[in-house]
Structure 1
Amino acid sequence: MKVAAFLKDRTGFIRRHYETAAAPFYEIMRRIEAGEEPYEPPYSEDGEPPFLEEWMEAKTSLELLGATCVSMLSGCLKLYFVTWEEQLDIKCRDHLPDEFNRKRGKGFVNGYKTCFGQLLKTDWSECPADWPVLEQIVLARNDTQHARSIYDLGPRHGYDVRDKHPLPFFLSEDEKRLIETDQLVELPWLGLSLVVTQEALFEAIRQVEILADWMEEPLSELRYGRHRPSGR
């Protein structure tokens, strides 16, 4: 069974879902910026950009859509690993419980990386997938599912994200520039914004597909070839 093919059915759906669902929000923002109907700027002397509230609501909608899609992607990645567990008749979490312990700063990406690394006898140095991005897909999913404040609709990173990822992958361009130029003033109680742009989402999807493609052949050889794992 080509597990990667089924994964790509799901990742393809996520791409199409984002593009379709995002289009109306991008159009609202474009019309406001262009002053097109029904957002023709009224006469005003207060200096505030017209339709700012509508523009901000469309922007927040895009951020929440991105967060939803990255949660779906995290689920796809986990299903890929779980399906191969079933195919190989193993239980990675039972075999390596400490590697899956989120309280120790690990989680399922690192757990499966260790487990399948042992099965495939690899240190992953030849794998072209970006593991920090894969790990942040799951971290982003966790943070978007557990809002930290009722006062802010937009998703935010956990307070300690920069301890492991000094420049988070899912971040606003403004905050990226501030970090890169060492100008960011961090507010511990607020946290960094968690912004899943189309570009970042599609790159994250690409990394998941790269990993699946790289793992597929050697795992298939384990499943159907002469080698059988003994990790149950």
Structure 2
Amino acid sequence: MLRLNNVTAGYGATTILHDVSLEVSEGEVVTIVGGNGAGKTTTLRTVSGLIEASAGSITFEGEDITHLPAHQVVNRGITLIPEARQLFPEMTVLENIQMGAYRPAAKSRYDQRLEEVLTLFPRVKERLHQQAESLSGGEQQMVAIARGMMACPKLMMFDEPSLGLAPIVVSQVFEVVKRIAESGTTVLIVEQNVYQTLKVADRAYVIENGRIVMDGQAEELMGDDHIRKAYLGI
């Protein structure tokens, strides 16, 4: 479904990603794990069209999307749940959720999709008419995910969904990710909480200093000595 082939990207004169290659097949949950500054977020932003690759190629469902602007990437069916939620704080929860439904494929399914999303997030349903800034961090994360789901994506990308959340809320967030995957949506997730993300993923890539240094089945990587020492503290 998604393939990055020797992608190099960065910010201005600063190169962050170096010849990154990875792929995500339809129906998979794939994670990219690594430390702070390793290039995880830059990878997602490059796929999203928020950063343009300086070398290499990105294909989605067989189409070259390497140089597409962000709004056209979204229209192809790729949605990014950004780090730190990035809600509109003075808008209501419902208004924030509605912002995700602007692509043509989503507008035609708005009522059905809204019902599905609110069934998945009963706490969000209770707070539809509150301002987003009045919600807890965990509730805001659920709203951000709900907004992304409203776009009816084929591929959902999550950028550090557990950031700043209490452990019990982190477990709830990953349970939601698992349910989204089970519903048929392909998932690509970057996360510093390596233990939690390897539990829900099918496969994983390890990125260090902007380069993919290891990949494999999530269960196998969970038992790898390097992963256990570097990321799990074991």
TM-score, normalised by the number of residues in structure 2:
0.28
Structure that is richer in helix per residue: 1
TM-score, normalised by the number of residues in structure 1:
0.29
Larger radius of gyration: 1
